Amino acid sequence: MREILTKTGDVKELMKIFGVSKPTVINALKYRTYSQLACRIRRVALARGGAVIGVKTDDTVRL
């Protein structure tokens, strides 16, 4: 699974920035939701130094 890892305290900062609950931020960072808000949370998390993990580096598409 793909997710964004953030520095300690970033989840709380994202909660303050967007005025949302902790589960909302966590679900966005774990790519469980795909709303516009979730996309904005992920974008800001990456801009603040977050790192995406769990992405396949291999281009092979399996059908």
pTM of the model: 0.85
**CA–CA distance, 60 with 14 (Å, rounded to integer):** 34
Assign residue 25 the CATH number of its domain.
1.10.260
Residue 23 burial by CB count (10 A; 0-12/13-18/19+): exposed, middle or buried?
exposed
On whether residue 62 sits in a domain, the answer given is: no
58 CB-contact burial (10 Å; exposed 0-12 / middle 13-18 / buried 19+): exposed
Number of domains in the chain: 1
Quickly tell me which residue has 């967007």 as its tokens.
18
**What's the pLDDT score for residue 61?**
47
Query: Domain range for residue 16?
Result: 3-53
Per residue of the chain (63 residues), what is the pLDDT tens digit?
899 999 999 999 999 999 999 999 999 999 999 999 999 999 999 999 999 999 766 555 454
pLDDT of res. 9: 95
Nearest Cα to 2, choosing from 44, 57, 47? 57
